[in-house]
Each structure stands twice: as C-alpha cells, then as structure tokens.
C-alpha cells in the first residue's frame, strides 16, 4: 500500500476531521523519527497514518480498537511490521510492542495530542509559536490534556530518546504541516 492509497482509506474510514488531523500528525512524526533512526520513512509514515483506521468503528468498544484495524490492514496485504505496530499501539490490550517502529508509534500517539493541546491554549493558536519548553511545561501539569498519557510518552526512553529530544523532533515535524493540521 502506498501513501495515496492509505490516505484514501483514512478518508473513507474516518469522518471526524480532527481524527484525520491526528493521523496526519502521527504520520509526519513517524517519518521524522524514522529519519532520526535511519529507518524507512515511507513505511513508518504509513504506520502513523493508518494507526487509528478503525477508531470510528470501535469508539464504543475500545477493547477492539487496533485489533480490528490490524485485521483490516492484514487483509489488505499491508506490511506485517506496520500491522503489528497498529495492533500494539493501543495500551488497553497489554501487548508489548516489539519492533522499534511499534515502540515509537506506541509512545508517539499520545504526544501528538499533547502538542495540539499546548498549541490550542496559546492566544494565537499557532503551532509555529510553540516551543519544546512550552510542551515540557504542559507535560508536567497532570490536569492538562489528561488524555495524553504521560507514562506512555515517557516510554520514549525505550527507543533511546530523551523526552526533550522526542518532543523536539515531533514538534518540528508537526510545524512543517501546520496548514494541514489547521494550526
């Protein structure tokens, strides 16, 4: 599956525009992290773009989220490493991600939400004006963006990245697609 096919699938399966933006943010961050680790940018990007492909179908049954998506992608012949990363990104299943790609997607997923939330509290709501320091300060505020699980974000240490570097790579990537994100 190429990016064009993946984006078409996302647009067919996901009607919520903010969720599509989340998938785009995750895609661009996965590509940036792939570059950092000298991995396949396109493959990692597909994992990010497709990771929530089943979210609208499973929103009332979160125990199925990522399981259904992985099954769907497997039937479409998507690369096994991407399928496994999609399957293991939902912490609810307790399946430990095994590959670098899967570990990265796991800890990245909630970070994109924290970065967006940090942007939305700025007076101008522009991601270009968000700094790593802004995000790290908000990271410390447990009541801020509660859905962004800090323990999972901190698993970036499992991929040999410090929190500041992890946030920096992802923030910079998201800033490059600010128009697509509406930020």
Asked if residue 183 is part of any domain, the answer here is: no
What CATH number does the domain containing 115 carry? 1.10.3210
Sign, CA dihedral 134-138-144-145, equals positive
Asked if residue 12 is part of any domain, the answer here is: yes
Asked if residue 20 is part of any domain, the answer here is: yes
pLDDT for 94 equals 87
Q: What are phi and psi of 156, to 5 degrees?
A: -60, -20
146 contact partners, CB below 8 Å, separation of at least 6:
none
Transcribe 90-143 into DSSP letters: -GGG-PPP-SHHHHHHHHHHHHHHHHHHHHHTSTT--GGG--HHHHHHHHH-TT
Domain that holds residue 142: 3-178
Q: Which of 94, 142, 117, 108 is nearest to 34 (CA)?
A: 108
Cβ neighbour number for residue 139 with a 10 Å cutoff: 19
CA distance 84 to 138: 31
177 contact partners, CB below 8 Å, separation of at least 6:
24, 25, 28
Quote the number of domains for the chain.
1
CA distance 70 to 157: 26
110 contact partners, CB below 8 Å, separation of at least 6:
147, 148, 149, 150, 152, 153
Asked if residue 169 is part of any domain, the answer here is: yes
pLDDT for 131 equals 98
Residues of the chain with pLDDT under 50: none
Tell me the CB-side half-sphere exposure of residue 23, using CA atoms within 13 A. 26
């Amino acid at each position: 599956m190429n990016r064009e096919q993946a984006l078409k699938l996302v647009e067919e399966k996901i009607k919520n525009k903010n969720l599509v933006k989340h998938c785009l943010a995750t895609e661009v961050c996965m590509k940036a992290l792939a570059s950092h680790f000298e991995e396949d940018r396109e493959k990692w990007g597909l994992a990010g773009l497709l990771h929530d492909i089943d979210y609208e179908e499973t929103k009332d049954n979160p125990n199925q989220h990522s399981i259904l998506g992985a099954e769907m992608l497997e039937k479409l012949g998507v690369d096994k490493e991407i399928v496994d990363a999609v399957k293991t990104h939902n912490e609810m299943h307790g399946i430990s991600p095994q590959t670098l790609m899967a570990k990265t997607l796991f800890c990245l997923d909630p970070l994109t939400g924290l970065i967006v939330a940090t942007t939305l509290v700025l007076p101008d709501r522009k991601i270009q004006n968000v700094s790593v320091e802004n995000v790290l300060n908000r990271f410390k505020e447990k009541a801020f963006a509660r859905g962004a699980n800090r323990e999972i974000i901190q698993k970036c240490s499992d991929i040999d990245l410090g929190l500041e570097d992890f946030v920096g790579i992802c923030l910079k990537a998201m800033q490059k697609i600010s128009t697509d994100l509406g930020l």
